[in-house]
Amino acid sequence: METLIIMLIGILVAVATYLILSRNIIRIILGTAVFSHAVHLLILTMGGLKNGSVPLLKEAEAPYTDALPQALILTAIVISFAVTAFILVLAYRTYQDVGSDDLDVLRGTKDE
């Protein structure tokens, strides 16, 4: 199962890298979103999949699956949500002021 998931993560990372290398800001932001999806899955798989029951002491008995990666992923999800929200607003503010969402236009005037 882990090998399958890691292959999937590889595909997600490849897609995200391709998206982030594009010119349009929205594609780049989607790329960052896919990146964070991939890394959340990666942290979970690194902790080992399906070995142990739900980490709830009352509902299930030992051995429990590794709870630490789950806590890390939760923190990572919230942080990536905050950053994605920020860059979305930044993108649309840039479009409003600079007038284009194309990265090539946003290269800045050549400095002689």
Q: How far is the CB of 38 from other proteins (least distance, A)?
A: 8
Q: What is the DSSP string of 78-95?
A: HHHHHHHHHHHHHHHHHH
Q: How far is the CB of 105 from other proteins (least distance, A)?
A: 9
Q: Rule CB under 8 A: say whether 61 interacts with other proteins.
A: no
For the segment 34-53, give every residue that binds other proteins (CB under 8 A).
34-53
For the segment 4-33, give every residue that binds other proteins (CB under 8 A).
4-30, 32-33
Site track for other proteins across 75-94, x = CB under 8 A: xxxxx-xxxxxxxxxxxxxx
Q: Backbone phi, then psi, for 95, in 5-degree steps?
A: -60, -40
CA distances (Å), origin 5, targets 9, 12, 70, 72, 76: 6, 10, 16, 19, 19
